[in-house]
């Protein structure tokens, strides 16, 4: 009888130990009572929906986010089920303070000048911030060449600075001859067009940065500017192109003879 009771007590103790081990394992998998979940440890714990550990990402489409919640509309990343027309994820989310101009470069990269931040912010086609060109002085106008060179109109330095795709300064254009480089454009030959709002002209420079001519001038008559702030070059098939200049007082369209050669 005594031996039978000892065996019963041993079995009861053994079952209790197994139960404790199993309970400890459950708490590790699901975040036990009093133990906060740790997002990023590859364990889906209490309050988490997913956790892929080092594969959690706030920039990759369809990934588990770094808060251990699934990708969703409005998280700043266009996921596969949302499509390219999902407006809630096309909003720029970054440290932009005063965005001025936007340009599209190679591989659909998006460039944004920010006068207050003194930077050009560079995004990929999903509007994920990839890099920042810093140290600028009130950057306004912006253009990006097919080879990735970045043209920035520095209002604080009264010039246009040209940078490599990696951000190295390559060239300074128009120093001393530009007062307010509000907008920039490049034609098919690589000539640079600069809207100078304060001088009320469009400066045209060669590939080497040498001045070619000026278009417009102060005034309100034909071919004159009141306060030009933006421009674009339009090509129709094999035509030479037309230069459009946006004026706060007037709207001008220059034919090839007066604009793009």
Structure tokens at 209: 């940065």
Domain end call among 65, 89, 113: 89
Q: How many domains does the chain have?
A: 2
> Which are the contacts of 197, defined by CB distance < 8 A and separation ≥ 6?
179, 180, 182, 227, 228, 229
The pLDDT > 90 percentage for the chain reads: 56
Range of the domain at 38: 32-89
Indicate whether 141 pLDDT > 80.
yes
Residue 18 phi, psi dihedral angles, 5° rounding: -60, -40
HEC per residue, 159-196: EEEEECCCCCEEEEECCCCCCCEEEEEECCCCCEEEEE
Q: Encode pLDDT of 209-223 as tens digits.
A: 999 999 999 988 888
Residues 59 and 109 in one domain: no
Domain end call among 89, 105, 128: 89
Indicate whether 140 pLDDT > 80.
yes
Question: Following CA atoms 59, 65, 71, 77 in sequence, which dihedral angle do they give, to the nearest 10 degrees?
Answer: -20
Dist. CA 194–CA 230, nearest whole Å:
9
Determine the straight-line distance between the first and last CA of the chain, rounded to whole angstroms: 112
> Which are the contacts of 10, defined by CB distance < 8 A and separation ≥ 6?
none
Indicate whether 131 pLDDT > 50.
yes
Prediction pTM value:
0.64
Contact 148, 165 (CB under 8 A): yes
Residues 56 and 185 in one domain: no
Confidence of residue 236 (pLDDT cuts 50, 70, 90): confident
Domain end call among 64, 89, 114: 89
Find tokens 């944004």 and name the residue.
Answer: 112
Average per-residue pLDDT for the chain: 81
Dist. CA 156–CA 137, nearest whole Å:
5
Indicate whether 28 pLDDT > 80.
no
In a domain, 53, yes or no: yes
Per-residue model confidence (pLDDT) at position 98: 86
Distance of CA 148 to the CA centre of its chain: 15
Q: Encode pLDDT of 66-99 as tens digits.
A: 999 888 776 667 777 655 544 555 454 556 778 9
């Amino acid at each position: 009888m005594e031996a039978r009771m000892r065996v019963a007590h041993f079995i009861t103790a053994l079952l209790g130990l197994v139960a404790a081990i199993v309970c400890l394992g459950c708490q590790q998998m699901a975040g036990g009572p009093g133990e906060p979940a740790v997002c990023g440890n590859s364990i889906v714990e209490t309050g988490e929906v997913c956790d892929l550990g080092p594969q959690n990402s706030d920039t990759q489409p369809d990934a588990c986010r770094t808060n251990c919640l699934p990708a969703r509309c409005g998280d700043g990343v266009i996921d596969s089920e949302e499509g390219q027309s999902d407006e809630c994820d096309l909003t720029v989310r970054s440290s932009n303070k005063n965005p001025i101009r936007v340009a599209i470069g190679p591989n659909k990269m998006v460039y944004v000048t920010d006068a207050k931040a003194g930077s050009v912010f560079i995004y990929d086609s999903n509007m994920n911030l990839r890099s920042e060109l810093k140290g600028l002085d009130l950057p306004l106008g912006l253009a990006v060449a097919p080879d990735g060179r970045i043209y920035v109109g520095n209002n604080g330095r009264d010039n246009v600075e040209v940078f490599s795709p990696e951000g190295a300064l390559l060239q300074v254009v128009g120093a001393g001859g530009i007062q307010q480089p509000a907008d920039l454009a490049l034609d098919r030959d690589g000539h640079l067009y600069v809207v100078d709002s304060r001088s009320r002209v469009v400066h045209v420079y060669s590939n080497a940065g040498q001045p070619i001519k000026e278009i417009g001038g102060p005034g309100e008559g034909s071919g004159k500017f009141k306060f030009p702030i933006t421009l674009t070059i339009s090509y129709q098939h094999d035509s030479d192109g037309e230069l459009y200049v946006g004026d706060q007082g007037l709207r001008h369209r220059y034919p090839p003879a007066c604009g793009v050669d």
